[in-house]
Amino acid sequence: MANPNSVLPLYEKNWYKHNYKRVLDSIILILLLMLLGYRLIFVNNYSLPWFVAFMCECWFTLGWIFTISTQWNPALVKTYPQRLLQSVSVEELPAVDIFVTTADDELEPPIITVNTVLSLLSLDYPSHKLSCYVSDDACSPLIFYALQQASNFAKHWVPFCKKYNVQTRAPFRYFIDDNDECMTNNEEFRQEWLQMKDMYENLIREIDVYPKSIPCLFEGEFAAFSNTTRTNHPAIIKVIWENKEMVEDGLPHLIYLSREKRPKQPHHFKAGAMNVLTRVSGLITNAPFMLNVDCDMFVNNPKIAQHAMCILLDSKGEKEVAFVQCPQQFYATLKDDPFGNQLVILYKYLGAGLAGLQGTFYCGTNCFHRRKVMYGLSSDDMENGLNKLSDEELKQISGASNELRKSIVHALKGKTNSPSDINVKKGIEEANQVACYGYEYGTAWGKQIGWMYGSIAEDVLTGLKMHEKGWRSEFCTPDLVAFTGCAPSDNITSMSQQKRWATGLLEVFFSKHCPIFGSRHIYSYNNSCDLQYIYSI
């Protein structure tokens, strides 16, 4: 927690001054309303074409009202990481559990997941305060093997990045973008650079060769993967690396997780995987904050955790902000971005507008979450201290695991584990229990706590639930882009992605979760949530 006596805030929100745009938007709205009035008053022939045109004009006018309402008071968040380190010592920085999700080792090659993990392990943040959990919904031994090899490479890569303050910490991008760096006059750096490149190329070869030997390698650590398929396998949790020394400049914990899946049993897609990650991490490390990243979105700004903590630890943000969302940016996009993959309108204009209201939506990746909010804590509970539940209530909500209930109580009270008290391997047996497909039956997971079920757009639904509880969110846009990923390279892939997003939003809109019709408890500043959601559709 930041020092409450600190005079300077850790972040500021600056509102744009754009009176000229407001005037223009208002004039356009007045003209649209005048047009609708003219249609109703002066037209005598109410034919079908007239009716269709009138309905289109009404819809456009309604859309324009939502547009100017959302963008009337845009804001930009400015963070000050240097102030964070002045007000909080390294030992006082909170721990962060990192979640990386992958579901198909063919569509999402292991080397991509490995690069994302390597970039996360080398964040500019105390290593003993980080724990990385990789969720593999395909139960692929190749992913597990790739992570094992990556952990060996990380023992050299992470110190190299921190020693030379490397910006791009995903090796495959670093060695493409910075080939000229080896020509530096610093002989020591040049030798280490060449060594790192050779080691990375060797890592690629090892991962490429492994699939050919899979049939004869289901023994030892890989015995758990025998007789498994993508849709039929037990829960598998493996500790790939444990930072036993708990040193600041070491390698963070790295844990592989594949939740149990059985045919004809609901698994709730990514939301189900995220809830399993939340429970498993709660038993093992129970960090007060969680960062979730898709396997193809690597860290581009190694200080992003510090930027996010500026918001989450600020005296104001600590009481109001549930999550900090970073935008999705893409590399290697086509010229002029013909498929709109960069989502410029969404992040640059709509995102700024939402920042001036209750905050942006949760976008499913590149997001820092407050764990106790995921456990159902509302902002009113935070203010009034109503974060206590009876043991029986906790059992009905969170499930049968006594250890998990203890960790939830621990999180709701705002207590944190000391890194020296964490025994990663000790919690594995209990973690296997909460990773089983039947654990959630009769509990509130996916309904009241955790990631919400009911839509393939689990991210939007989960964010709406947090806003409904009175929490705000913030959009974190440091000068150096926080995360980047690979954009769809063709129209078919891009359209498929856009279709999935639109389908998920419509599912929420026409369901009991719709913020307009389904919300029973609207807070004073939560009315903006309705406008945000409609505008997104």
Task: Give the catalytic positions in this structure.
Answer: 137, 459
Q: In the numeric block, which tokens belong to residue 34?
A: 């005048």
Say how many C-beta atoms besides its own lie within 10 A of residue 41's C-beta.
7
Token match 């593999």: residue? 136
Q: CA-CA distance, 421 to 399, in Å (whole number)?
A: 25
Task: Give me the helices (H) in 140-186, please.
Answer: 141-163, 171-177
108 annotated among ligand-binding-site residues: yes
Q: Which long-range contacts does 226-230 make (Cβ < 8 Å, 24+ apart)?
A: 228/139, 229/139, 230/104, 230/137, 230/138, 230/139, 230/261
Q: CA-CA distance, 435 to 278, in Å (whole number)?
A: 10
Exposed, middle or buried, 18 (CB in 10 Å: 0-12/13-18/19+)?
middle
Q: CA-CA distance, 92 to 251, in Å (whole number)?
A: 19
Q: Number of C-alpha atoms within 13 angstroms, CB side, residue 183? A: 3
Q: CA-CA distance, 312 to 324, in Å (whole number)?
A: 8
Q: CA-CA distance, 393 to 378, in Å (whole number)?
A: 16
294 annotated among ligand-binding-site residues: yes
Say how many C-beta atoms besides its own lie within 10 A of residue 252's C-beta.
28
Beta-strand pair 96-102/483-486: unpaired
Q: CA-CA distance, 90 to 305, in Å (whole number)?
A: 13
Say how many C-beta atoms besides its own lie within 10 A of residue 490's C-beta.
10
Length reported for the chain: 537
Token match 């856009």: residue? 498
Q: In the numeric block, which tokens belong to residue 454?
A: 């009911």
Q: CA-CA distance, 306 to 392, in Å (whole number)?
A: 38
Adjacency order of strands within the sheet including 329-331 = 297-299, 483-486, 329-331
| Spatial contact of 358 and 467, defined as CB atoms under 8 Å apart | yes
Q: CA-CA distance, 36 to 62, in Å (whole number)?
A: 11
137 annotated among ligand-binding-site residues: yes
b/e code 92-112 from CB counts within 10 Å (16+ = b): ebbbbbbbbbbbebeebbbbb
Binding residues for Mn(2+): 270, 294
Binding residues: 108, 137, 270, 294
